[in-house]
Structure 1
Amino acid sequence: MLDTRIAALITITAIVLLGTVYSVLHDTYLDTSNPLITHLAHPLHATHYFADKKNPLNVYFTKKIWGWTTAGFVFLFATSPLNARTKERVMQYLAATCVFLAFTSWFFGPPVLDRLIANTGGECVLNLPTGAVVPVPNEYCYKNENISPITHPALFATSLLVPDSDWHARPRLRRGHDVSGHIFLLTMSTLFLVDQLKTTFKYSRGNRAAWSPAHNWAIVANIFLVAISLLALYTTSVYFHTPFEKLSGYLLGVAGFAVTQIPALQPAPEAKVVTNKEISQEKEKAHNNKKFH
């Protein structure tokens, strides 16, 4: 039988590939590294629901994917049978979370994704309401703080139409190679949840009747999260980032999941689950053997 992790990887690969090919053939993707257009609405936002950056799937799910992944894992783990609550599963989650934080929040300074942009020709820019683009030192993007004419007057050239005093905005790294962070996280998250579901089924083989109602709901919830993640992967592949940026996001997502698969983080082989029926059968067999002897 095909390993569920391999099946998930094949599915993700097909979705990203088909979505990317579609985006190229129909010119539906937005180059998010272009500072002149990335802050604007997607050209297709009025006619294509998922091209709108403000659609609920993007705002409440994709942008918060690791929060949803954490909730799904905790629900599944906490309701699992005792023999399935292994320390290795917790370590796998912690390893994946460290990958998530290293790429998106902090890696001995700027996160990995920011470093990739900066080291491939990216620069920190601020989009003014006038449409002008103001380059600022990269450190302001690394700090992830708002900038305004009041707080940082030296950054605004006098020749530009300076915004109102109460205006502020957060600079972003643009140009360079802007790895699709959403593809990266959705890929890693989906593979991680599928792996956790696989572990749950492995440890309960032959004794699924012992699952609590809460655990049944946890399994349903995680399957639902995987399904929504696959949809989000497709919409991102169709509407956002260049093909190469989506490819790098996919490869990094697979690599991030691979970290959780190192031998030291693999749960020990499950012990044989002995059901009450099997115990009764063994007792009856022993009793019969005793009678004949």
Structure 2
Amino acid sequence: MIGRRSPFLPTTLETFLLAIYPTTLLVGTLFGLLDPATRVSPYNSVSQSHYAHTAPSYFAKKSNLFNVLFVKKGWAWVTVSFFFFLLTHPSMGPSFQATAKRIKAVLRWCIITVWWIFVTQWFFGPAIIDRGFRLTGGTCDLVALADAGIIEMDDTKQFVTGMACKAVGGTWKGGHDISGHVFLLVLGSMFLLEEVLNVVWRSAKMREERTVVMCDGAVKSAFVESEVETMGAAERSGEWTLATKGVVGVAALSVYMLMMTAAYFHTWFEKFTGLLVALSGIFVVYFLPRAVPGLRSIIGMPGV
């Protein structure tokens, strides 16, 4: 008798979505390497971008509106679109009521948000990105300011984050810089898509492919823990509400900006590590609970 699939294996839809990210990074990187305009444009290894006055594309400038208004404020877009979906979609219960599904979804958002904070903002001091940069030999270069007598050289030890270094006129260089843009765009978009996948497969009347480990160790379909049998007809079919379309729109724009990041910013290895760090957070929140009943009872699973 053939056993059930592993809880850690992605579903057909998840496999397709997960494949989008490395494919996008690969295609974007190849485009950046082969595009004649990109090849003749000087690249600043410190800022991890092309010089603005010779940028090969509008999207190669850090000042482009999509970068300033969307990527730089990426987590706000992710959060607003998620809560709009969470509070209004019928699969979560009556609108704006504190159902168990909504509470567990908020807990999932909290864990993903904490991971975003740890990696990019603060991790009991400098963020993980900054700590990784320093551990791989990165420093705040203030030699010019020290030579001018503006600061003491020993003061460079105080600048343990890239933001702090730049704020005093220094440059942050020398180490491995995990791509924060790749991390944010992958983490945010995959988080949103995982939350609405149940709407997709219900609207398409697809079979539930996820499996879970029960408390007795048995591996069963995630359907056994679903409330689908008690849902109304609209919820069973899956509704493509305005909020659902908004979530998919934010995720789609994130993937497009991921392509632009791949083409014009960072080295291939920095983009690769940004991808891995993002997917590690997705694994903990959306795959690990399938095999750990205790964790699943706390944060649940989308659609369950």
> Is the TM-score greater than 0.5?
yes
CA contact (8 A) 1:124 1:137 kept: yes
Alignment of 1:241-280 (within 5 A): 241-261=266-286, 262-263=288-289, 264-265=295-296, 267=300
Distance in 2 separating the partners of 1:248 and 1:61 = 22
Distance in 2 separating the partners of 1:145 and 1:86 = 38
CA contact (8 A) 1:86 1:267 kept: no
Deviation, structure 1 residue 105: 1.2
Deviation, structure 1 residue 14: 0.8
Deviations 1:63-114 (A, max 9, x none): 1111111111111101122447332211111110010000111111111000
1:52 corresponds to 2:61: yes
Scaled by the length of structure 1, the TM-score of the pair is: 0.71
Unaligned runs of 5+ in 1: 148-167, 272-293
Q: Using a 3 Å threshold, how does the CA distance of structure 1 residues 269 and 49 change in structure 2: closer, same or farther?
A: closer
CA contact (8 A) 1:138 1:173 kept: no
Deviation, structure 1 residue 171: 3.9
CA contact (8 A) 1:103 1:113 kept: yes
- Aligned pair partner of 1:108 in 116, 124, 136: 124
Distance in 1 separating the partners of 2:14 and 2:64 = 30
Q: Using a 3 Å threshold, how does the CA distance of structure 1 residues 126 and 211 change in structure 2: closer, same or farther?
A: farther
Distance in 2 separating the partners of 1:89 and 1:254 = 18
Q: Using a 3 Å threshold, how does the CA distance of structure 1 residues 138 and 232 change in structure 2: closer, same or farther?
A: farther
- Aligned pair partner of 2:85 in 76, 81, 87: 76
Secondary structure of 1:173's aligned partner: strand
Query: For the aligned residues, what is the CA RMSD?
Result: 3.5
Secondary structure of 2:63's aligned partner: coil
1:123 corresponds to 2:156: no
Distance in 2 separating the partners of 1:127 and 1:227 = 43
1:217 corresponds to 2:242: yes
Secondary structure of 1:249's aligned partner: helix
Aligned match of 2:103: 87
Distance in 2 separating the partners of 1:205 and 1:44 = 57
1:189 corresponds to 2:216: no
CA contact (8 A) 1:62 1:182 kept: yes
Distance in 2 separating the partners of 1:55 and 1:138 = 33
Moved more, 233-242 or 23-32: 23-32
Q: Give the letter aligned to residue 51 of structure 2.
A: A
Unaligned runs of 5+ in 2: 1-9, 94-98, 203-227, 290-294
Q: Give the letter aligned to residue 182 of structure 1.
A: H
Deviation, structure 1 residue 146: 7.7
Moved more, 187-196 or 251-260: 251-260
Deviations 1:201-247 (A, max 9, x none): 556785249989xx811111111101100110000000000111111
Aligned match of 1:240: 265
Distance in 2 separating the partners of 1:99 and 1:269 = 19
1:198 corresponds to 2:197: yes
1:41 corresponds to 2:57: no
Q: Give the letter aligned to residue 254 of structure 2.
A: S
- Greater C-alpha Rg: 1
Distance in 2 separating the partners of 1:186 and 1:11 = 12
